[in-house]
Structure 1
Amino acid sequence: MTEKIFCLTEEQISAEGVIQKVERREAGAITVFIGTVRELTDGKKTLHLEYEAYKPMAEKMLAQIGEEISHQWPDAVTAITHRTGRLEISDIAVVIAVSSPHRKTAYEANEYAIERIKQIVPIWKKEFWEDGTKWIGDQLEKKAYPEGKPPEGGMRT
């Protein structure tokens, strides 16, 4: 079975594995965006993140971004892998690889991809901070979840 070019995974992401999906002889450039979990957000120490997604729709939207890139930059080839579940500090959350005969195209398409992910892909990020607060959706939640269950919704990545 061939590995998907646009996918979600609960496993750790190999940047090299995503790069291999776009390697080709015609490529003069491959740009790679690697989004990682940072320790500090607005001065708050992050303990971990949790990403949730509706996988069938999220993968469909990632593929749509690939189609949009192919339309705007016909010689670009794109692969995107986004992680879901619990991620620790320094874990890779997303890898976007774009190959093209020219570096300008690869840079532009890669930047376009991350911005479109934030706009249209149904992936929600929940940040858990050391002081006990949590960022979920558009709000800061100061109390622990009742019965250990998170509320519905969340924030797009």
Structure 2
Amino acid sequence: MTERVPHRNPWLVLAGFLGVVAVVAVVGGLAASSAKDVYARLELPPWAPPSSLFGPVWTVLYVMIALAGWCYWRTDGETRGFAAYGIGLLANLLWTPLFFEGGAAKAALVDIVVLDVVVIVTIVLFTRRSKLAAALLVPYLGWILYATALNTAIIALN
């Protein structure tokens, strides 16, 4: 007779996903303490968003990223999907310190291109088990592709 592992409370797991993503957001926020000043000093393309837009957009995206992970978990998601998700969170975490605190716009560009690819892979892997989980990541992908173009333009202009 095999012993059955008790199921985890899904609401606690959701809180865990929200917590992990919140750590990424907070670390990014701490690394972006001078972001407003740095952003204001940069030569920006005419299509660059105002700095006041970043906080609200990222807040919504981070909630969606956490919900995507949770929805995938609810399907007993496979390890590859979670590995891609985790790598994406790490790449996300690295971009802000590279760009704003490190002054390393080129390294940040490499990081965000990696993030673009990892999020695409994550969406593909999530789609196999949860179309909702994958769909929750699509706005995030759109935003980081836009950010990739912005990062590239900033390098070219500065």
Q: Under a length normalisation based on structure 2, what TM-score does the superposition of the two structures give?
A: 0.31
Q: Which structure dedicates a bigger proportion of its chain to helix?
A: 2
Q: Under a length normalisation based on structure 1, what TM-score does the superposition of the two structures give?
A: 0.31
Q: Which structure dedicates a bigger proportion of its chain to strand?
A: 1
